[in-house]
Amino acid sequence: MTDSGTRAERDGVSRDRPSRYEFSSVRLTFRSGGERCAGRLYRPDHPSDPPLAVLGGGPIGAGGQPLSPYAERLAAAGYAAFAFDFRHTGDSDGAPRNLVSPARQRADWEAALSGLYSRGDVVTDRTVLWGVGLAADGALAVAADDPRIAGVVAATPVLSGRAFLRERGLGFLAGGLLAGVRDRLASAVGRSHTVPVVADGVDGGRLALVSTPGASRAYRDLGGDEWANRTPARSLLGLWRHTGTDDRRRPTCPVLLVGGTRDDVAGVEAAEAAAESLPDATLVRLPADHFDIYDGEGFDRCVRHGLAFLDATTTR
């Protein structure tokens, strides 16, 4: 894992952005599947040996930028925090862009941890994974196989890609899988067939992955000006193959599940079912939709619950 460092970039003190003088940050890269992945490690000014939180996930194609405020808040509270982009998103390499692959995401989690474990300046025997959306299940799967993981935070989790697609109905499912096969065949000759990530007035929405009210504005706000509302249709095939972590592979470490009672993208019911099946799980229901955790009161509540969990899970 390689790095290039700068002082934390944002000035000012607010509820969502702690003072830049409370931590420093360094850009890190690592290799996964032969491709370069990028992230940023935030280090608190004290203590000298802080526990580590590794954060991944967020809106499709937006990269790790929406999770930067979480990493900053954790660093200000005395944790080292590494927020990274999965392949095909954000500052990480990988073509085609915005490809959704639960299998590759899990491999990226493992590669990120391997890079962090190899560093001499990061304490890794008290590591918590913080996965958002689809990345939450990848974090749970990795924790099941890695005894060094002290806990997992799963925020607005999508725990089964297949269940997520089924929620859209049989018409969407049939059309989406056909589009995925078309894209898979096109990719063999260097071409691509895409579908919208989110439905809006420009891109339509019949085969959009997300079509709930307000989702288009939220995705564009979080993804920034360079975000493209397209994903390769083969993403639907990857989601269909993703059935979630079965009972035999679930982690035994403590898990915090954070679900939104108004979440119409990843309903809170999946988090509730997971909390029942995991041996050491805590479920927090927030009065929030899928995107509220990235800003304002929803962000503040989510990060406070996450910090309380980290305090209880790691030895300070």
* Residue-level pLDDT, tens digit, the chain, 316 residues: 766 553 333 333 334 466 666 889 999 999 999 999 999 999 998 888 999 999 999 888 776 678 999 999 999 999 999 999 999 999 999 999 999 999 999 999 999 999 999 998 898 999 999 999 999 999 999 999 999 999 999 999 999 999 999 999 999 999 999 999 999 999 999 899 999 999 976 545 789 999 888 888 898 888 887 788 999 999 999 999 999 876 557 899 999 999 999 999 999 999 999 999 999 999 999 999 999 999 999 999 999 999 999 999 996 4
The structural domain count of the chain equals 2
Whether residues 42 and 91 share a domain: the answer is yes
Q: Of 208, 228, 243, at which residue does a domain stop?
A: 243
Whether residues 174 and 149 share a domain: the answer is no
Phi-psi region of 296 (alpha: psi -120 to 50; beta: other; left: phi over 0): left
- As a whole number of Å, the end-to-end CA separation of the chain is 26
Whether residues 12 and 69 share a domain: the answer is yes
Whether residues 14 and 55 share a domain: the answer is yes
Report how far residue 84's alpha carbon sits from residue 305's, in angstroms, rounded to the nearest whole number.
Answer: 21
Angle between helix 135-145 and 102-117 (nearest 10): 50
pTM above 0.85, yes or no: yes
Report how far residue 190's alpha carbon sits from residue 258's, in angstroms, rounded to the nearest whole number.
Answer: 40
Q: Is residue 37 within 8 Å of residue 112, measured between CB atoms? A: yes
Spatial CA neighbour of 154 closest among 143, 163, 146: 143
Q: Is residue 138 within 8 Å of residue 106, measured between CB atoms? A: yes
Angle between helix 234-241 and 102-117 (nearest 10): 80
Spatial CA neighbour of 203 closest among 230, 231, 221: 230
Whether residues 70 and 153 share a domain: the answer is yes
Tokens of 189: 């000759």
Spatial CA neighbour of 87 closest among 75, 96, 78, 79: 96
- In Å, how far are 63, 184, 265 from 237, measured between CA atoms? 21, 9, 19
Whether residues 171 and 214 share a domain: the answer is yes
pLDDT score, position 21: 63
3-state DSSP assignment of residue 231:
strand
Whether residues 155 and 175 share a domain: the answer is no
Whether residues 184 and 134 share a domain: the answer is no
Q: Could you list the residue range(s) of the whole structural domain that residue 194 is in?
A: 164-243
Query: Which residues have C-beta within 8 Å of that of residue 147, sequence separation ≥ 6?
Result: none
Q: Exposed, middle or buried, 117 (CB in 10 Å: 0-12/13-18/19+)?
A: middle
pLDDT score, position 50: 95
In DSSP terms, 40 is beta-bridged to 27, 83
Q: Of 209, 224, 243, at which residue does a domain stop?
A: 243
Q: Is residue 270 within 8 Å of residue 285, measured between CB atoms? A: no
Tokens of 287: 């009065």
Whether residues 108 and 231 share a domain: the answer is no
pLDDT score, position 236: 97
Q: Of 243, 276, 303, at which residue does a domain stop?
A: 243
Whether residues 54 and 134 share a domain: the answer is yes
User: Domain containing 50 — which CATH number?
Assistant: 3.40.50.1820
Whether residues 208 and 279 share a domain: the answer is no
Q: Phi first, then psi: what are they for 81, rounded to 5°?
A: -135, 125
Whether residues 237 and 248 share a domain: the answer is no
